[in-house]
Chain A
Amino acid sequence: MSASKQQAHVPQTTGHVWDGDLQEYNNPLPNWWLMAFYASVVFAVIYWFMYPAWPIAGTFTTGFKTITYVNNKGVEKTVHWNTRALLLQETNEAVKAQKPYFDKLSSMSFEQIAKDPEMNSFVLSAGKELFSDNCAPCHQQGGAGKVGFAPNLTDDDWLYGGHFSEINHTITYGRHGYMPPFAGVLTDQQMTELADYILSFEKYPVNPASAEAGNQLFHSETAACYYCHGADAKGRKVIGSANLTDSIWLWANVPAAKTIADKEAAIKTVITGGLNRGVMPTWQGRLSTDQIKLLTVYVHDLGGGQ
């Protein structure tokens, strides 16, 4: 080690002396620590000027940094920086990223979309999100529906039709299913006969005589079921009346009922009280035309076509 560096090491003190001989070593903070501290002070001051920082009475300092986003009315807004605006800005970007797909989607027909593997993949992934956000509360996640509440979209029974145009119409304008109550119009005996007639389509072991009486009643002017459900009891898609001959039930939970008597009772409840519950809201105005188009293809993928 060079001689110049071998100077005597005299410990530094703070310079104060107490009681004649008490001194205090001066051990300053390391320079790197001090530098980091000063740098963070400078950073904090710059931050106060840039971002919302100090509360002042009922308001606060907003900072000079601004953020621009387009709100849901399409108006561009520039406000002081805040996380809500940041979220909206990021949402704008996400919408922009999806735009090429939606542009392509709006120029294609339903069939073209369903045939194009790339577009159909987009429908499956983006549609799943839209469906979960808007449709799943009633139709359940995955579209399986719920007996007595909302129809199953994954089967092949479609009250209002399962073709692209019909699904699109249903989503755009909504639906309202109605069946008048028959309490007081038909006797309990007559309703049991009707129930037996309907159950006979599915080959349940019901009393043949009763089912035959139900058949007569179904097509008579007394009950006049065939007005809506059709002479073949297969329903009419224009008015959304149910197909009574298949094994799919929306309102009367026939498959879950164990005995024939329970199955009859389930059907009779519907006949007695009628239905005014099958309400599907209109989505026009809430979702864009392209979003509805995308959902149409998605729902069609679930089980449409009939």
Chain B
Amino acid sequence: MEANAEEPMHLYEKRIPIVPRWVRGKFRNFKSAVLVLAYAIYFVLPWVPWHRLSGINQAVAFDMVGRRFFIFGLTVYPQNVFWLAWLLFIAAVFLFFMTTLLGRAFCGYFCFQTLWTDFFMIIERMVQGDRPARLKLLKQPWNGEKLLKIGTTHTLFLLTSFWTAMTFVLYFGYAPQILHDFVTGNGAQAAYVAVIILTLSTYIAAAFMREQICQFVCPYGRFQSVMYEPETLVVTYEYRRGEGEKGRAGMKGDLKTREARQAAGHGDCIDCGICVQVCPVGIDIRDGLQYRCISCGLCIDACNGVMGSVGFPKGLIRYDSEINMKKDVPDNPHLNWNRLKVYGYLVALVVMTSMLAVSIMHRTDFEYSVQQVRQPLFVVLSSGKIRNRYEIHLTNDSDRDQSFHISTEDIPPGSLDMGLMQNAVVHPGKSVIVEASVEMDPEEARQHKSFEFVIQSQDIEKDHAEVKVSFFSENSQI
């Protein structure tokens, strides 16, 4: 009984809300530029028109019903799924490459969790004011002002979330039509379900979860952290310069000039705490590299601002590498290219990207397969001739009607019988099956155990294929 009376361990620590301060500086500007660019692409793209002979007249449209994706001038079919696989490989290697050079730069500037959280924080700041005002509002009892401000913030959050979700759905068809159907209640069930789920998940992830997604949900943050090397540029607090011999100290009393501070054994860090206040994940970078850091560089902007105003050299917090920090006098921070790993990633990137580009450029606008009819494998005709039949599957991947002409090579002329179908017209994105029948007398069959079908598009010259097939007869050795 005694042991149980102890204070129970609490495994769960309640999250302390992070209320970051706004900061100005080059990394903030870069972050804002990326945000504007990414939002412009994401929200505007479904509304960009694009002329097509068939299909959806929209620059980017994922046509689920027609089973094809339109991406500008490219039409992607399910059978091109390996392009997606390659793209994902390339994206993964590019991420590794960036990580080994620059740490979690993706997390800090490009990840949609970061972008949406950042945008939501901007909304908060616009409605409620900067950090001090927001902290005050948090502590304030629930009165009219607080209700109005928090209510407005969350209304804007929900509107942004809804439009984010809606935009996602708009990619799956002709955007104006989808929006019209959605608003008038005639939309697809999947559209409503997707919008509800995405609205809620965006709202929860960007308004409440925020950095917890990076810390507890996202696997990338964790595995990127283990890909750091001593040469990797990471957000670094120059400990020696900041702390001196006796640690950081505020700008008070005699410690107002750099010389006086150095004489007293204190470093350049004036312990203003701005770097902590601006951090969107709520860490103190002066504690060193930590898994929660998303490498966004806002603390660099903050520190540079403070150092500038007190007249100390900038760069107390900066992107730098561990090996540089170990030097007696650190060099100027620079990217460390000269590593086998970097070259390896680079080679993999170049090879895969060029392979993908070649594959996309050399795509044909049609697909085909020739299958021998095997029930029965061959038929003896009344004249004693032997007939084999083949099913030719043709798919038109182009944006216009194509007429395919089918002929044979290596067998006596006149052996091929296409029935009533001399040319097979296939509409864009459609497939047809054409039956071909080949007849030879037993002597010819003995000589021609295989031959070639030649498929030639009458409309697109490069859509040409030669397929070797077998011809079976009683004499065939099976």
Within 8 A of A (CB), among B95-138: none
Residues of chain B within 8 A (CB-CB) of A157 are: 381-382
0 or 1 for each of A286-306: is its CB under 8 Å from B? (1 = yes): 000000000000000101010
Interface pair A114/B421, CB less than 8 Å apart:
yes
Interface-lining segment among B6-14, B51-59, B248-256, B293-301:
B6-14
Q: What chain B residues lie within 8 Å of A125 (beta carbons)?
A: 433
| Least distance between A274 CB and chain B CB atoms (Å) | 23
Q: Which residues of A contact B424 (CB under 8 A)?
A: 117
- Cβ–Cβ contact A155 & B387, under 8 A: yes
Decide if A120 touches B380 in the complex (CB within 8 Å). Answer: no
B379: interface (CB < 8 Å): yes
Q: How many residues on the B side are at the interface (Cβ–Cβ under 8 A)?
A: 35
Cβ distance A249 to chain B, nearest Cβ, rounded Å: 10
Q: Is the CB of A124 within 8 A of B433?
A: yes
Asked if B426 and A248 sit within 8 Å, CB to CB, the answer is no
| B residues in contact with A143, CB < 8 Å | 375
A57 at the interface (CB under 8 A from B): no
CA A301 to CA B434, docked complex, whole Å = 10
Distance between A30 CB and nearest chain B CB, rounded to angstroms: 14
Cβ–Cβ < 8 Å partners of A247 in chain B: 380-384
Whether, in the assembled complex, B419 has its beta carbon less than 8 Å from a beta carbon of chain A, the answer is: yes
Q: Is A10 an interface residue (CB 8 A)?
A: yes
Inter-chain contacts of A248 with B (CB < 8 A): 380-382
Interface mask (A110-142 → B, CB under 8 Å = 1, otherwise 0): 010011011011001100000000000000111
CA–CA, A106 and B387, complex, Å? 31
Please name the residue on chain A nearest to B423 by beta carbon. A117
B425: A residues at CB distance < 8 A: 117
Closest to A304 in B: B419
CB distance from A244 to the nearest CB of B (A): 11
Q: In the assembly, what is the distance between CA of A102 and CA of B341, in Å? A: 62
A149 and B370 CA atoms in complex are apart in Å by 32
- Is residue A8 contacting chain B, with contact meaning CB distance below 8 A? yes
Find out whether the CB atom of B379 lies under 8 angstroms from the CB atom of A120.
Answer: no
* Contact call A8/B387, Cβ cutoff below 8 A: no
Q: How far is the CA of A95 from the CA of B247 in the complex (A)?
A: 82
Q: Which residues of B contact A22 (CB under 8 A)?
A: none
Residue of A nearest to B439 (CB): A156
14 A-B residue pairings within 8 Å (CB atoms): A9-B7, A11-B4, A114-B421, A115-B420, A115-B421, A120-B421, A120-B434, A124-B433, A143-B375, A152-B376, A154-B379, A155-B380, A156-B387, A248-B380
Give me 12 other A-B pairs in contact (C-beta within 8 A), A124-B435, A155-B387 excluded.
A9-B4, A9-B7, A111-B420, A120-B435, A121-B434, A140-B375, A142-B373, A143-B375, A154-B389, A155-B381, A248-B380, A303-B387
